[in-house]
Amino acid sequence: MPELPEVEAVRLELDPCFTRSRIDDVEVRRPDLRDPFPRRFRARLVGQTVEVFRRRAKYLLATLTSEETLVMHLGMSGGFNVSLPGDRARDVDKHDHVIFTMSSGAVVVFNDPRRFGMMTLLTPRQLASHPVLSALGPEPLSDDFDAAALARACRGRNTPLKVALLDQGIVAGLGNIYASEALHVARLSPMRAAGSIATAAGEPREPAYRLTGAIKEVLTRAIARLASKRYRSAPFRVYDREGEPCPRRGCGGAIRRRTQGSRSTFYCPRCQR
């Protein structure tokens, strides 16, 4: 499942194609993805200019001149292919489900073999009341996310810290992989109680500062690697490295795996406390 860095890398690639560009045509090659496309999907898109193209958590949002927002989610296997003027023509694949032709000259194709992706159109009122988007916490790379915000959200929680980090109401877009990575950078056990990083009054303890810094560091580095296209995915410190030596110099521990909230957590029991 793509997480925040993967989605942000996609946003960076698509932004020059979409922002301030008119949608000249849309070919919808099937009636649904995860859910059916909204009524008059093509008609509501063609002729509209994308005013703002942004990411919110793991969603891509294109605000149109009609004031509607095109909301897109990659699902488990979705991705975009971009063809620019002068590029060699690309053969249409059976998993190419939506094709955007932009006034910028770009042709943007959404390909999704498993069809767990999603595209919909929302009015401003629908966007503001959306059951997922309206409940999201702060973006982890924004100024709104700091040790104080994380401590307030975790105050009094006995939930394991790793599980709490996956709560999108606490921090938006952080997923299973990068939560494990950040906890290792911060030297914090994924099993410790989330409330342990805050005082009884909700003020941040020292681990809250370490953890927010680690989250920002891990995500920033992953986005830079992915955007450079040197990696199909970012190299990981602990994720999916069960049994390997801990990469922290001088630690001497080995990476273990355990299940938390039906997901695999990777950590070093020696240096993460």
Active site positions, annotated: 2-3, 58, 263
Is residue 34 within 8 Å of residue 117, measured between CB atoms? yes
* Mutual angle of helices 206-227 and 4-18, in 10-degree steps: 50
Q: What is the DSSP string of 191-248?
A: TSBGGGGB-TTSPBPHHHHHHHHHHHHHHHHHHHHHHTTS-SS---SSTT-TTSBPSS
Backbone dihedral angles phi then psi of residue 197, each to the nearest 5 degrees: -90, 0
* DSSP single-letter state for residue 184: H
Is residue 101 within 8 Å of residue 24, measured between CB atoms? yes
List all residues 6 or more positions away from 194 whose beta carbon is below 8 Å from its beta carbon. 154, 157, 158, 159, 160, 161, 163, 164
Structure tokens at 53: 């193209």
In angstroms, the first-to-last Cα distance of the chain is 28
* DSSP single-letter state for residue 156: T
Is residue 26 within 8 Å of residue 98, measured between CB atoms? yes
Which has the closest alpha carbon to 170: 132, 205, 203, 135? 135
Question: Facing residues of 80 across strands?
Answer: 110
